[in-house]
Amino acid sequence: MKRLLLILFILCATACVSYAQEAGGSVYNRQGRKTSGVVTGNLATVDANTSTYSSFIEANVMVNVKANEYIAVFGLAQEGATVADSNQKLDAQLKQFIASLESLGVKSNDIFVDFIAQNRVYDYGVAGNTATEKLSGFEIKKNVAVHYKDKALLDKLLAAASKAAIFDLIKVDYIVSDMTTVRDKLLEEASRLIKKKEESYARLLNIKLKPSSIIQEKYNVFFPSEMYSVYTAFESGNVGYNDNVRVVQKRKASTFYFNPLNVSEFDMVVNPVNVEPTVQCTLFLKVKYVQNP
């Protein structure tokens, strides 16, 4: 028993080392694998309502799709002594930004200004040992959504935003306009895989099954904005414990990386290799079979 446990420990340790060798800096803040969310049950069971032997054949497929349209959302905020003052500042900023967008060929119907909030702003007045909170002004927040099709245009949008003193790019939505074709492709591939498994069972195991019903058909879509992970890579020294030493730490930079779904949970991945982030569409299909006499 001890020898078996030792062998298992060595195998597990070897697997961990080999995995870390190619993980890069993300090993410092590993967040675990993402999952498509499918829940797979036993492939074979007995129907509780009948004595007929039943079996389930599953297929989990994914397709990586490049987006053909995008929506970038920028955040704007201005403060002023009065509502009119802050609104005037924000309108001037918006006018400059929209003029720059139109010079880039962005049409007016591809720009939408969304009013977000109007807030009171408070500050403190200090007199002697007393700090009293008081109203100091107002803040207005608006978002600007910009629709475009050329992915390379984003750099120019950022430059136009910076000229208007807009530095908050909230998000970029990836849009696949023909999602119906993508779903048809997923269903076609999943059905083909299930049929292939059925034929393999009959040829290799002499198990003849007949399809009875679809138990589960679950589609999912994962957009790039949802699939980024953060990590910070660094090694720190140790100065030891000393009351007379003041430790001044340096700021450690964090960064993000695109962390797509793990392909290991899928029977098939269409268009598996992509340099750029893609929209990941998945289908989990589960079909019930009964024994064919």
For residue 86, being part of any structural domain is answered with yes
Identify the weakest region by mean pLDDT among 159-173, 207-221, 244-258, 269-283: 244-258
219/124 same-domain check: no
CA–CA distance, 264 with 231 (Å, rounded to integer): 23
Question: Using 50, 70 and 90 to split pLDDT, how confident is the model at 157?
Answer: very high
Q: Mean pLDDT across the stretch 20-35?
A: 48
Instruction: Tell whether 117 and 149 lie within a shared domain.
Output: yes
57 within a domain of the structure (yes/no): yes
pLDDT tens string 106-154: 999 999 999 999 999 999 999 889 999 999 999 999 999 999 999 999 9
Do 96 and 138 fall within a single domain? yes
Residues 37 and 51 in one domain: yes
Residue 172, pLDDT > 60, answer: yes
Q: What is the CATH number of the domain that holds 167?
A: 3.30.70.2970
Contact 174, 70 (CB under 8 A): yes
Between residues 5 and 230, the one the model is more confident about = 230
Taking the model in full, what pTM does it have?
0.75
pLDDT of residue 37: 65
The rounded distance, in Å, linking the Cα atoms of 76 and 90 is 7
Q: Is the domain of 181 the same as that of 170?
A: no
Kindly state whether residue 17 falls inside one of the protein's structural domains: no
Q: Same domain, yes or no, for 145 and 274? A: no
Of 53-57, 78-82, 237-241, the range with the highest mean pLDDT is 78-82
CA nearest neighbour of 61 among 223, 219, 212, 214: 219
Residue 164 has pLDDT above 60, yes or no: yes
Same domain (yes/no): 229, 140: no
Distance CA 22, CA 243 (A): 41
Whether 139 and 209 map to the same domain: the answer is no
Which amino acid, residue 185?
Answer: K
Question: What percent of the chain has pLDDT above 90?
Answer: 62
- Say yes or no: 181 and 54 in one domain: yes
Work out the mean pLDDT of the chain and round it to a whole number.
84
Q: Report the number of distinct structural domains present in the chain.
A: 2
pLDDT for 29? 53
Higher local confidence (pLDDT), 179 or 239: 179
More confident residue, 262 or 37: 262
pLDDT tier for residue 279 given thresholds of 50, 70 and 90: very high
β-partners of residue 230 are 256
- For a pLDDT cut of 70, what percent of the chain falls above it? 81
pLDDT (tens digit, 9 = 90+) per residue, 234-277? 888 777 766 778 888 888 888 888 899 988 889 999 999 888 89
pLDDT at 165: 95
247: in domain: no
Residue-range definition of the domain harbouring residue 170: 69-175
Task: Read off the pLDDT band of 3 (50, 70, 90).
Answer: very low
Residue with tokens 């591809």, as numbered in its chain = 110
Q: What is the rounded distance in angstroms from the CA atom of residue 97 to the CA atom of residue 110?
A: 14
